[in-house]
Amino acid sequence: MKSFLTESIATTCDPSECRSRDNCACMSMKPPENLNASAMPQFVMLTFDDAINEQNMGFYRHLLEPGKRRNRANGCNVAATFFVSANHPAGHTDYSFVHELHSVGSEIAIHSIT
């Protein structure tokens, strides 16, 4: 089954003119440059939105515990990006928790703070 996105992009990309060396690649089910699929890097992004407080900090500590959860490829601790809001129906953000998450390698971004 073809989707609108697949249909519209796939039909407008000409593989003879679009080359990876030129920073261009047409949509394909095959890895670029004939790379072996088992050697392709895989990316998983963990992101969370809104308030960081006592209601969710226990979960974040468990999920991101330094030394316990590591990236198998490079041995680094698993981290996440937190899109923080100051006020949310679920509660206010406790910035001491934000600091704790940042200190163990997570990224802090702003979400709905003016």
Contact 51, 93 (CB under 8 A): yes
Q: What gap in Å lies between CA 49 and CA 95, rounded to an integer? A: 14
For residue 60, what pLDDT band results from cuts at 50, 70 and 90?
A: very high
Total Cβ atoms within 10 A of residue 25? 13
Total Cβ atoms within 10 A of residue 82? 25
Extract the tokens encoding 53: 């407080």
Pairing status of strand 81-84 against strand 47-49: parallel
pLDDT tens digits, one per residue of 1-52: 455 455 555 567 887 888 777 778 788 787 777 788 777 777 778 899 988 9
